[in-house]
Amino acid sequence: MKGYYFITDSKLSLAGNFNDVTMAVACGVGVVQYRNKNAKTREMYEEAVRLREICRDTLFLINDRVDIALAVNADGVHLGQSDMPCGVARKLLGEEKIIGITVHNLAEAVQAESIGADYLGVSPIFLTATKPDAGKPAGIFLIEEIRAIVDIPLIAIGGIDHSNAMDVIRAGADGLCAISSVVAREDVKAEIKKFQDSFRALGK
């Protein structure tokens, strides 16, 4: 799990989730995470069905909702600290599915790895308006601190843009997500490719 990690955001998107994901897949992103905090279950399910079809050859994860992930046969879920426990999600999803966990400090990172997370979402690195409850920015030091101890992939998120992406990668992030810097722009593909170029420039 490396490189640019795509997360949907229907509130910020100019083109809509379906167009955004189509463009992300065309760019060759390794992961698409469907996140929709405001949709009702039926709406989320129906949207996830369509997105799953677009992501036939791309890892497709669902944010928070294990039930939706099961219903559309997603490749896994991404869980926050207040979501379903990882162990319960694993029992429901099975060993072959991917489970990512958001962490905000070293202790949470070590615990998440110990209970079977496949990767960690390290958040928030910088100040972000995309997720109001994200918490206080930790800076790239948190990536360095976790990378020194944890072996599973680290995906950095929170306030990342083209001005700081290389710093995040150099700090040890295997991947990064930048939502507003991509879906709120006119040319989603061009913005994704700039982030992908950052990884290539550093030989990642």
Q: What is the pLDDT of residue 113?
A: 98
Residues 49-60: tens digit of each pLDDT:
999 999 999 999
Average pLDDT in the 72-95 region?
97
Burial class (CB in 10 A: 0-12, 13-18, 19+), 150: buried
CA 145, CA 165: separation in Å to the nearest integer?
Answer: 18
CA 156, CA 180: separation in Å to the nearest integer?
Answer: 14
CA 96, CA 65: separation in Å to the nearest integer?
Answer: 17
Q: What is the pLDDT of residue 204?
A: 87
Give yes or no for residue 184 having a pLDDT over 60: yes
Residue 158, CA distances (Å) to 2, 67, 180 in order: 17, 26, 10
Average pLDDT in the 20-30 region?
98
Instruction: With beta carbons less than 8 A apart as the criterion, state whether 35 and 6 touch.
Output: no
Three-state secondary structure call for residue 198: helix
CA 3, CA 21: separation in Å to the nearest integer?
Answer: 16
User: How many other C-beta atoms are found inside a 10 Å radius of the C-beta of residue 24?
Assistant: 26
Q: What is the pLDDT of residue 135?
A: 66
Residue 71, CA distances (Å) to 8, 43, 56, 149, 195 in order: 19, 13, 15, 35, 32
- How many domains does the chain divide into? 1
CATH code, 25: 3.20.20.70
Give yes or no for residue 134 having a pLDDT over 60: no
Residues spanned by the domain of 137: 3-201
pTM above 0.85, yes or no: yes
